[in-house]
Amino acid sequence: MRAPRDLRDLAVGVAADLFAAITAALAPGADALAKIPDLPGRWAGTGLGMSLLPARLAAMRLAAQKIPDGDYTWFFQNWFFGYNYMDLAVDGVRSEGDVHAVAVRNPGGMALPFDLVLGFADGSSERVHRTPAAWQADGRRIEVRIAGGKALRSVTVDTGIYVDFNPGDNAWTADKAGSH
């Protein structure tokens, strides 16, 4: 692939790479990218201006609708055509026998991937990953259920490379909650 000629080419290439990464994240598997052949070659270096970028995003959304694993219109609407922002929060934790239920709220509305970092009373920790697909059914609140008999002491939402608007509400501790 040739080097980008200008900022427009670069924007197109970035959009194509982003789409490929999103496709891989939403449709995990070794052949996820093979479902859309030569994606970078199809979009990069076409020389179309930035004014046509929304049309290209719409075309990528239409291409994603043809992926046999499902309809990704909800995702494209959320990331490219909506007015959402990045903000997740721990909304509460409850235990039901050996299962912990962690409620995660999405006040910003952006369908972000995230990890829950769980800290247990015995000093061990665990990461539980969720893809943007977790927000497909309800974009504002989900419940992540974690099996295991260990006493839970802390939960932190880790958004990775995505900057959270209000990181102050991303953690829960058993001490702060008063009971568990």
Q: What is the DSSP string of 41-110?
A: HHHTT----GGGHHHHHHHHHHHHHTSTT---HHHHIIIIIS--B---EEEEEEEETTEEEEEEE-TTB-
CA distances from 80 to 54, 76, 179 (A): 9, 5, 41
What pTM value is reported for the model? 0.64
- Together in a domain, 16 and 39: yes
Domain that holds residue 165: 89-177
Q: What is the pLDDT along the chain (180 residues), one digit of tens a residue?
A: 444 444 455 455 555 556 655 655 555 554 444 444 444 444 445 444 444 556 666 666 666 666 666 677 777 788 877 888 999 999 999 988 889 999 999 999 999 899 999 999 999 999 999 998 899 889 899 999 998 778 899 999 999 888 899 999 999 998 765 444
pLDDT the model gives residue 67: 64
Out of 81, 98, 127, a domain closes at: 81
Helix (H) or strand (E) holding 18: helix 7-26
103 and 29 together in one domain = no
